[in-house]
Amino acid sequence: MIYMGSAKAIVPHKINLPNFKYQYGLINFKELPCDLFLSSNEPEEQILAILANKGNKTSAEIVKSILQKIMAVSPDCSTENKYYQQLRVIMQLRKFDNETEQAMLDVNSFWKLERDPFYKRGRQVAEAKALEEKRAIARNLKNKGIDLAIIAEATGLTMKQIQAL
């Protein structure tokens, strides 16, 4: 059994029933050295280094190493993106810090924001909010009798959009 929690594992290591007996070991990822995973040639295994004992490495160093290895072995962007998504999920489980996020941003050829669906969605929400704020400002200025051309210049809205308010 593999345990990845942050607290000490309190899990039975055997089942002892009248007609069934089974004993198993418990592997705590935090006790395994991250180098064990980083030395692998398989990206899926390298990503697991995030869950392991960091030793004297920083989280950012581990992530950077994983990203560099993924880029080296990925035959195309879709494969690279698959590994990136796996890495992202695991990073969320470990609640990594800004330093680690910066490590991902530093590897520009891997981290392509314009292809990230969460980035795209966040951008759409931000753009919609900004447009609504521009409309509110334009509406207020229009109600105060400010010239529509000035409002258009100040807000970036078209004359048609302002007239429709």
* Local confidence pLDDT in tens for the 165 residues of the chain: 666 666 777 777 788 999 999 988 878 878 899 999 999 989 889 999 988 888 999 888 888 888 888 888 888 777 877 888 888 777 777 666 666 666 666 655 555 666 666 778 888 999 999 999 999 999 999 999 999 999 999 999 999 999 998
- Per the structure, the complete domain to which residue 1 belongs is given by 1-30
Q: How many domains does the chain have?
A: 3
Same domain? For 62 and 11 the reply is no
Q: Are residues 49 and 67 in the same domain?
A: yes
Neighbours of 57 (CB within 10 A): 17
92 and 38 part of one domain: yes
CB-facing half-sphere around the CA of 55: CA atoms within 13 A: 11
CA-to-CA distance for 22 and 151, rounded, in angstroms?
A: 76
- Sign of torsion over alpha carbons 18, 20, 21, 24: negative
Say if residue 73 is in the same domain as residue 37. Answer: yes
**Any bridge partners for residue 27, and if so which?**
2
φ, ψ of residue 135 to 5 degrees: the values are -65, -40
Distance between CA atoms of 105 and 67, rounded to whole angstroms? 10
pTM for this predicted structure: 0.56
